[in-house]
Structure 1
Amino acid sequence: MLLETSNTTLKGLKGLVVGIANQHSIAWGCAEAFRAAGAELAITYLNAKAEPHVRPLAEGVNATLIEAMDVENDAEVGALFEKIEKEWGQLDFILHSIAFAPLDDLHGPVLNTSREGFARAMDISCHSLIRLARHAAPLMKNGGAMLTMSYEGANRVAPHYGIMGLAKAALESATRSLAAELGPQNISVNAISPGPIATRAASGIVDFDHLMQDSIEHAPLRRLVTIEEVGALATLLASPAGRGITGDVIVVDGGRHILY
């Protein structure tokens, strides 16, 4: 039986977006796409410093909930999901688009990574997905979709990506494990792996401009991908039409990863 075109819509679905920093964020491109497809959204911001940059965007897509939530703060995470349950009674999809490593550990060689820096990078960049999934799964009463963001540095040694490559490799492994465990509940779990995009997070990586120029010069499409293109893929994976895909890492990088 063929899927109807309407199955690619998010109309009537409710989703949580975690990781918007500003209008250049990959998470923002996804939030705009989700809303355009008809989803009702809950959007988080990290703290009071981040709120002025995120709240106007969230209001622009008529987010039902706009809440402070630091994934290192268990009380804030728990409170967020309590509000989601009270407001909606269910959840259909989540987007996890956050990563962090202390600058000294990010900029230095993996060999010199501190124990504390390693632990914090793994906690925020990887284990936070597991924590969010633990809270979200019981609310996905009719099945659902969980999405996270990776990078090719999880599989190959990217210049100056350091410890974040290890964290993204762990994140991709967690994606597969969660997909296997949550599949019987009709919950899909996938990672999207965009090519270089000029986001605030990317600005912390030394010589990131070189990675972007490399994509422009060598990717088959001879350009960078956009947050809108990542959002389009995320929308498919969150929709009923994409629910047959799970446990995968889907690359959207203009084809750069297929070439030496």
Structure 2
Amino acid sequence: MFSLAGKKALVIGIANEESIAFGCARAFRDQGAELAVTYQNEKAEPHVRPAAEKLASALILPLDVRDDGQYEAVFDRIRQAWGHIDICLHAVAFCPKQDLHAPVVDCSRDGFLTAMDISAYSFIRMVKGAAPLMRAGGTCMTISYVGAGKVVEHYNIMGPVKAALESATRYMAASSARRGIRVHALSPGPLKTRAASGISHFEDLMKEAADRAPIHQLVTSEDVAAFAAFLASRQAAHITGGIHYIDGGYHIVG
């Protein structure tokens, strides 16, 4: 029904083959897109590079999202290799463990700023870097969670952080529309990824989601990836600014 043939896609946030970002990258590639994939640092590279090579990624680049210089280097390399970019996926989130496990009122200032910088501001930085290379328009996406809009037990400070990410998504969608750039947040149900493993009682959260969702099942990374690939296609050219729930209807229950 749709194709990404000839499209160039940047994927930030692959940790391993179980990650949402890997699933999305695979869907982009399967629909014909060429890939650029980043890894955080030398410690992460041995885990990310084999996954990126399995996807036949054309570019495998270092990127610590806290370093503006590295962001600039990534987009410079893409400019040199491709001249433009069509799709950007941001799947990065982090909070120091002691702050993630604490009630919101006990989150430290440094923990809050770190979580906001890595989990929310880095998406703003991505869109800013990509925009000059999206001369024919494009699609930028990030990953959120239902805890941005309602209280989810044990999600703690990441709830306010994801709320900021979703708000930034809407504002960037509005300001980027005149350039043909669409901006989205994908909000999957709980998935067993390395990032999610840091959340306290995550197994309980997954069970609750499966029990309460109208379909009584957990979604998969393939479900998320299929929707992301559609949003990146020309068939979704008039869709922007959405918080797209891919959670079996879990977000509609009280």
Pairwise same-fold verdict (TM > 0.5): yes
TM-score (norm 1): 0.96
**Which of residues 179, 187, 201 is equivalent to 1:185?**
179
Residue 120 of structure 2 corresponds to which residue in structure 1? 126
Secondary structure at the aligned position of 1:232 is classed as: helix
Residue 88 of structure 2 corresponds to which residue in structure 1? 94
Secondary structure at the aligned position of 2:185 is classed as: strand
Residue 252 of structure 2 corresponds to which residue in structure 1? 258
Provide the C-alpha distance between the structure 1 equivalents of 2:144 and 2:171, rounded to a whole number of angstroms. Answer: 15
Matches within 5 A, 1:19-34: 19-34=13-28
Residue 202 of structure 2 corresponds to which residue in structure 1? 208
Secondary structure at the aligned position of 2:157 is classed as: helix
Secondary structure at the aligned position of 1:162 is classed as: coil
Matches within 5 A, 1:113-192: 113-192=107-186
**Which of residues 67, 78, 87 is equivalent to 2:61?**
67
Provide the C-alpha distance between the structure 1 equivalents of 2:81 and 2:206, rounded to a whole number of angstroms. Answer: 41
**Which one-letter code corresponds to 1:44 in the other structure?**
T
Q: Number of residue pairs matched?
A: 254
1:47 equivalent to 2:47? Answer no
TM-score (norm 2): 0.98
Provide the C-alpha distance between the structure 1 equivalents of 2:184 and 2:31, rounded to a whole number of angstroms. Answer: 19
User: What are the Cα deviations for residues 211-253 of structure 1, in whole angstroms up to 9, with x where unaligned?
Assistant: 1101222212211100011000000011111121111100000
Provide the C-alpha distance between the structure 1 equivalents of 2:147 and 2:210, rounded to a whole number of angstroms. Answer: 18
Secondary structure at the aligned position of 1:200 is classed as: coil
Residue 35 of structure 1 corresponds to which residue in structure 2? 29
**Which of residues 236, 242, 247 is equivalent to 1:248?**
242
Provide the C-alpha distance between the structure 1 equivalents of 2:181 and 2:68, rounded to a whole number of angstroms. Answer: 23
Q: What stretches of structure 1 of length at least 5 have no aligned partner?
A: none
**Which one-letter code corresponds to 1:135 in the other structure?**
G
Secondary structure at the aligned position of 1:48 is classed as: coil
Provide the C-alpha distance between the structure 2 equivalents of 1:133 and 1:12, rounded to a whole number of angstroms. Answer: 21
In the TM superposition, residue 19 of structure 1 has moved relative to its aligned partner by 0.4
In the TM superposition, residue 62 of structure 1 has moved relative to its aligned partner by 1.0
